[in-house]
Amino acid sequence: MKLELGNFYVKDIVFGEETSYKDGLLTVNKEEALKVVFEDEHITEADLVIVKPGDEVRIMPVKEAIEPRHRVGGGPVFPGVTGDLMQAGNGRTHCLKDCSVLVVGKHWGGFQDGLIDMSGEGAKYTLFSQFINICLVADTDEEFEKREQQKKNHALRWAGMRLSEYLGSCVADMEPETLDTYELAPVTKRSEEVNKLPSVVLVLQPQSQMEELGYNDLNYGWDCNRMVPTFMHPNEVLDGAMISGSFMPCSSKWSTYDFQNYQMIRRLYAEHGKTLNFLGVIMSNLNVALEQKQRAALFVAQMAKSLGADSAIVAEEGYGNPDADFIACVVALEDAGVKTVGLTNECTGRDGMSQPLVTLDVKADAIVSCGNVSELIKLPPMKTVVGELEALARDGLSGGWSTDEVLGSSVKEDGSIVMENNAMFCGDRVTGWSTKTMSEY
């Protein structure tokens, strides 16, 4: 499979008469763009707001991030989700870089939503403060879940994907400024030189623990709760086959943008044929029952061994209950003779003194930490709030609270906040973006 990602580097975004791209300037016809959003009758109100790095802006509650793209030659950017099923990972897709579509609740947040600060202390915690973002701020008539802590956010998430496709279409017939090419020979057809290198498989554990459909990550539109570990070409992940769900504390989440730009995949590609032989991706899942966790771990280990993997990297989306899947997978791989490195965040409490993962094993002796979800963060007020700041305290976000004996409410009268890292949108960057470091004292 050969995938070409054509890149157009967005330096500024403005509203104007025609949606177009020229010399780094993305112009958006707001009226046309909102028509795309309102194609879903469940969207009751919506607006678009442009925010830029350095703006004194706080965004809350953020539900999703998506890179605007266009599939050259036809077909949906997200096969099986925004259009008919087709093979992802082949051909050319055009990408608007250094920007994203952020899906933001106009009113209602939930357990899985988060916060982005575009400047100040809070900006360092999330990748998306570095981008020019088009915020889709919207509400729906999905009354049944407005006051539910867990929300599917279906209408809002799908509107974000349609908007991203609409924006991406403006570069459909243009020549990209740079072109990234991703191609791997079939595992059994690689050169002698490549086969002599240490072989690595990447095991991804996207969030799939909700047994009711509609909350979990999607694989070609298929709810990951219904799948078993599956061997995938890494190009498929980079090219729209995977969609973020609406579950899991926000700092642990992998947004759709993260899947589209999965940094660990890109790094393994960069090393392929030089220092290692990148076999591909085993897309696993996260389960609820112990037997399900053990079964998935056995599937993964057998698949890795059958592929001839010398080593593996395992990355989990989430923490707590998913830690059992994560550690079980690492142990099963080690038992199969596959040297394994884990990639995860931790839940070590506000003081950093608690056990980092729910379950541990002596065989899991090489784990890269991406941060502590419980770290306490205090941020001053911002001049402007996009969305509704009260959601952080009111709506059961995993890192916010309405009252605390010592700290009071997460949202203070002056607009300053105190919260756990849990509520920072994709803040732990487990997909490979993380700039955090660990020091031993």
In sequence order, the β-bridge partners of residue 94 are: 6, 70
Percent over 90 (pLDDT), the chain: 94
Query: What is the DSSP secondary structure assignment for residue 215, as one 8-state letter?
Result: S
Task: Say yes or no to pLDDT of 423 above 80.
Answer: yes
Of the candidates 249, 244, 248, 264, the one whose C-alpha atom is nearest the C-alpha of residue 375 is: 249
Query: What Å distances lie between residue 2 and 69, 210, 371, CA to CA?
Result: 17, 34, 35
Averaged pLDDT for residues 262-287: 97
When pLDDT is cut at 50, 70 and 90, the band that residue 441 belongs to is low
pTM: 0.97
Give the model confidence (pLDDT) of 18-75 as tens digits: 999 999 999 999 999 999 999 999 999 999 999 999 999 999 999 999 999 999 999 9
Q: What sign for the dihedral angle of Cα 343, 347, 352, 355?
A: negative
Of 398, 413, 419, 426, the closest CA to residue 259 belongs to 426
Confidence of residue 435 (pLDDT cuts 50, 70, 90): confident
DSSP H stretches of helix in 243-286? 256-260, 263-271
Cα end-to-end distance, the chain, whole Å: 47
Model pLDDT for residues 393-403, shown as the tens digit of each residue: 999 999 999 99
Rg for the chain, CA atoms, rounded: 21
Q: Is 272 helix (H, G, I), strand (E, B) or coil?
A: strand
- Give per-residue pLDDT as tens, 127-141: 999 999 999 999 999
Kindly list the distances between the CA atom of residue 286 and the CA atoms of 61, 153, 224, 261, 362, in Å, as whole numbers in the listed order: 25, 21, 8, 22, 21
Residue 430 dihedral angles phi and psi, to the nearest 5°: -65, -20
